[in-house]
């Protein structure tokens, strides 16, 4: 296996509101929002919940593309500073240009800020910078927008006092003709040039232990070989992909990993492609990238993704993080189980494949040297019916109480085959083999789904938690089966 062949940096660099900065040592290992506020004095970025659940800390992350930058809002409270390496970060202070940062504001507001003022879109103002960031990203390169589009864009921004009507009105009444595109405010060429030198270097940052804090060691490889090699040498390292799970643990639960392996620079690990009858999801593909690609391939999954977290979370959270975390309410797992998807891991001994069902049954576990590389999802065939459900307390920006996937093959009114998977009814997502066996060969009529609901009722043994009681979850399983049957 190839060892570290390339060059290595002991720092990260990125552009912040048009200015190139270098970050070294412990500062690179913390979360972006406190870094912006404490180290850079950019206090426009607010921290309210500190765990990705309100959008007050939204900033624009510009990831380099062939021709410029793709700017997306993300939650900076759970986004590690090191993950900004090679990017352009724009905070609310920088929205009107680099010369307006640092107290030299001439009082000129952007059309989004004007709309928020004119529509009385702020009271205490705590959520306002995040909302301005989100609306700026939303209106970039967009000519027309409906109220529904604005609402969807703002799903990740909570406001506790103004009420949403004036904010949505502001979003609708932005004078888009007056909006200067971000590429005009920050012409991409000099930024891309500035990021060029050292762009292909791996990053290794060692922070020695001191009186107050533990020693830490970060590695950001450039190739899978480097990643595996380092993982073999550091089997206890915490892997960070999009960081939305690890970031919460670091931001609010006090996790301070001694060793961190960031996958941020593994090129091609974010592919979302169709290969013959399979959908291939790269481990590092964000849920936004998946949603953009799967609409034409598996529309049912694309629809489910509109209910997945918030736009900010989908812009950071990745496929691998959702699967490896294997939370009972990971929204991808029922879909992957019903489609009998396979996971491809790579490690010291090469690549191996395992079905999602076997992975979950194993613990879920993988070898210490392994990383999840990609997911291969057999696509539903013509004549098969795929339905996905997510039940949560709020329609938008809420975790599932129970989620379900059904993949039905029926012919001449008879069930030839059915795959049923649920999340939120056991410590891990699971298939219901007894219910599936009961349904096989049965006629497709409303009575059969009621009977199947009884079988499922006896097959599962859900848990109670703060989100829902055991009884509620059990009832949801039965009702979702009946709903699936009724909507066929
Ligand atoms: C407020 C909030 C709302 C959320 N809403 C939803 C929701 O509606 N639905 C939902 O399903 N989830 C939700 N999530 C959970 C989370 O955002 C997702 O699970 C996301 O996909 C995690 O991906 P990540 O890249 O951010 O994971 P990370 O935090 O980077 O990693 C998560 C885990 O996976 C491991 N890991 C990551 N990549 C690899 C790899 N390639 N190989 C091996 N191990 C790896 C990490 O070591 C870590 O243990 C929410 C989270 C928050 C904070
Ligand atoms: S502070 Fe609430 S999402 Fe970051
Ligand atoms: S204006 Fe106070 S939280 Fe939105």
Q: What is the pLDDT of residue 145?
A: 84
The yes-or-no answer to whether 272-378 and 384-486 have a common fold is no
78 Cα: distance to centroid of ligand 2 (angstroms): 8
409 Cα: distance to centroid of ligand 2 (angstroms): 43
Q: What is the pLDDT of residue 119?
A: 97
334 Cα: distance to centroid of ligand 3 (angstroms): 36
Q: What is the pLDDT of residue 1?
A: 44
Testing ligand 3's pocket by substitution, the residue of 46, 47, 57, 160 carrying the most ligand atoms inside 8 A of its CB is: 160
> Does the C-beta of 59 come closer than 6 Å to ligand 2?
no
Q: What is the pLDDT of residue 130?
A: 98
> Does the C-beta of 134 come closer than 6 Å to ligand 2?
no
Secondary structure element (H or E) that encloses residue 418, with its range? strand 414-423
Residue whose Cα lies nearest atom 2 of ligand 3: it is: 124
Q: What is the pLDDT of residue 326?
A: 86
Q: Residue 401 CA: which ligand is closest?
A: 1
Q: What is the pLDDT of residue 141?
A: 74
Please give all residues whose beta carbon lies within 6 A of any atom in ligand 3, as ranges: 122-128, 159-162
363-367: which pairs have CB atoms within 8 A and are 24 or more residues apart?
A: 364/324, 364/326, 364/428, 366/324
> Does the C-beta of 128 come closer than 6 Å to ligand 1?
no
Tell the CATH topology of 272-378: 3.30.465
Residue whose Cα lies nearest atom 5 of ligand 1: it is: 309
Distance CA 36, CA 389 (A): 39
Question: From edge to edge, which strands make up the β-sheet containing 371-378?
Answer: 272-275, 278-282, 371-378, 342-347, 350-355
Tokens representing 48 are 């309210």
Instruction: Spell out the residues 6+ positions from residue 373 whose beta carbon is closer than 8 angstroms to its own.
Output: 224, 269, 282, 283, 344, 345, 346, 351
Estimate the crossing angle of helix 128-139 against helix 164-172, to 10 degrees: 30
> Does the C-beta of 423 come closer than 6 Å to ligand 1?
no
Atom of ligand 1 nearest to the CA of 246: 29
Q: Residue 397 CA: which ligand is closest?
A: 1
Q: What is the pLDDT of residue 98?
A: 85
The total of other beta-carbon atoms located within 10 Å of residue 335's CB is 25
pLDDT digits (tens, 9 = 90+) for 449-471: 999 999 999 999 999 999 999 99
Phi/psi for 72 (5° steps) reads -135, 145
Instruction: Spell out the residues 6+ positions from residue 471 whose beta carbon is closer than 8 angstroms to its own.
Output: none
Q: What is the pLDDT of residue 4?
A: 61
> Does the C-beta of 250 come closer than 6 Å to ligand 1?
no
Task: Tell whether domain 111-179 is in CATH 1.20.58.1180.
Answer: no
> Does the C-beta of 50 come closer than 6 Å to ligand 2?
yes
> Does the C-beta of 283 come closer than 6 Å to ligand 1?
yes
Distance CA 96, CA 362 (A): 52
397 Cα: distance to centroid of ligand 3 (angstroms): 18
Atom of ligand 3 nearest to the CA of 121: 1
| Domain 384-486, CATH | 3.30.390.50
Distance CA 234, CA 260 (A): 9
Q: Which CATH superfamily is domain 8-94+190-262 in?
A: Beta-grasp domain (3.10.20.30)
The CA–CA distances, whole Å, from 431 to 36, 249, 329, 360, 426 equal 45, 29, 14, 11, 11
157 Cα: distance to centroid of ligand 2 (angstroms): 9
> Does the C-beta of 16 come closer than 6 Å to ligand 2?
no
Low-confidence residues of the chain: pLDDT under 50 = 1-2
Residue whose Cα lies nearest atom 4 of ligand 3: it is: 159
Domain boundaries, the chain: 8-94+190-262, 111-179, 272-378, 384-486
The pTM of this model reads: 0.96
């Amino acid at each position: 296996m190839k060892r570290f062949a390339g060059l290595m940096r002991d720092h990260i660099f990125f552009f912040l509101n048009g200015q190139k900065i270098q970050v070294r040592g412990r500062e690179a290992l913390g979360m972006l929002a406190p870094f912006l506020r404490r180290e850079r004095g950019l206090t426009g970025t607010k921290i309210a919940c500190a765990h990705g659940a309100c959008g007050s800390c939204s900033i624009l992350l510009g990831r380099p593309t062939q021709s410029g930058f793709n700017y997306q809002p993300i939650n900076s409270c759970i986004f590690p500073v090191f993950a900004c390496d090679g990017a352009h970060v724009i905070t609310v202070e920088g929205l009107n240009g680099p010369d307006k940062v640092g107290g030299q504001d001439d009082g000129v507001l952007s059309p989004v800020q004007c709309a928020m003022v004119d529509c009385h879109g702020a009271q205490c103002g705590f959520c306002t910078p995040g909302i301005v960031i989100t609306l700026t990203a939303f209106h970039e390169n967009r000519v027309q927008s409906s109220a529904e589009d604005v609402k969807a864009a703002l799903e990740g921004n909570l406001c506790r006092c103004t009420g949403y009507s004036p904010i949505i009105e502001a979003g609708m009444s932005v004078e888009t003709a007056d909006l200067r595109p971000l590429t005009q405010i920050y012409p991409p060429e000099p930024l891309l040039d500035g990021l060029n030198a050292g762009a292909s270097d791996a990053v290794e940052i060692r922070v020695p232990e001191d009186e107050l804090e533990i020693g830490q060691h970060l590695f950001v490889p450039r190739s899978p070989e480097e990643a595996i090699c380092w993982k073999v040498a550091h089997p206890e390292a915490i892997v960070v992909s999009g960081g939305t799970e690890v970031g919460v643990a670091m931001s609010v639960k006090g996790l301070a990993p001694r060793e961190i392996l960031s996958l941020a620079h593994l090129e091609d690990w974010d592919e979302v492609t169709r290969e013959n009858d399979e959908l291939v999801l790269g481990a590092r593909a964000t849920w936004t990238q998946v949603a953009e690609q799967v609409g034409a391939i598996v529309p049912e999954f694309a629809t489910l993704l509109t209910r997945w977290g918030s736009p900010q979370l989908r812009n950071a959270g990745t496929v691998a993080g959702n699967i490896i975390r294997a939370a009972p309410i990971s929204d991808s797992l029922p879909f992957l189980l019903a489609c009998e998807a396979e996971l491809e891991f790579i490690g010291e001994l090469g690549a191996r494949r395992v079905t999602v069902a076997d992975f979950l049954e194993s613990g879920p576990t993988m070898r210490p040297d392994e990383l999840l590389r990609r997911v291969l999802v057999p696509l539903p065939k013509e004549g098969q019916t795929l339905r996905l459900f997510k039940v949560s307390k709020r329609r938008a920006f809420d975790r599932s109480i129970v989620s379900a996937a059904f993949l039905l093959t029926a012919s001449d009114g008879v069930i030839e085959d059915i795959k049923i998977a649920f999340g939120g009814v056991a410590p891990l997502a699971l298939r219901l083999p007894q219910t599936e066996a009961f349904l096989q060969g049965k006629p497709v009529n409303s009575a059969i789904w009621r009977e199947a609901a009884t079988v499922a009722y006896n097959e599962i043994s859900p848990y109670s938690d703060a989100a829902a009681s055991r009884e509620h979850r059990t009832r949801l399983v039965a009702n979702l089966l009946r709903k699936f049957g009724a909507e066929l």
